[in-house]
Structure 1
Amino acid sequence: MNQPEIEFEHVVKRFGQTTVIPDLSFTINKGEFVTVLGSSGSGKTTTLKMINGLWQPTSGTVKIGGKELTEHNQVDLRRHVGYVVQQIALFPHLTIKQNIAVVPKLLGWEQAKIDQRVDELLDLVKLPSDQYADRYPAQLSGGQQQRVGLARALAANPDFILFDEPLGALDALTRIDLQKEIKNLHASLADKTFFFVTHDINEALYLGQRVMVMNRGRLEQFASPETIVQHPASPFVEELLATEERNQELWRRLQ
Structure 2
Amino acid sequence: MVELKTPAQIDAMRAAGRVVAAALTAVKKSATVGVSLRELDEVARDVLRSAGAVSLFDGYQPGFASSPFSGVICTSVNDGVLHGLPSDLHLADGDLLNVDCGASVDGWCADSATSFVVGTPRPEDLELIATTERALAAGIAAAVPGARLGDIGAAIGAVGKQAGVGTNLDFGGHGIGRRMHEEPHLPNGGRPGRGLKLRAGHVLAIEPWFWHGPGSAYVIDDDGWTLRSADHTRGAHAEHTVAITDNGPEILTLRE
Q: Same fold judged by TM-score > 0.5? A: no
- Structure with bigger gyration radius: 1
More helix by share: 1
- What is the TM-score with the length of structure 2 in the denominator? 0.29
User: Per chain length, whose mean CA-contact separation is higher, i.e. which structure has more relative contact order (CA < 8 Å, sep 6+)?
Assistant: 1
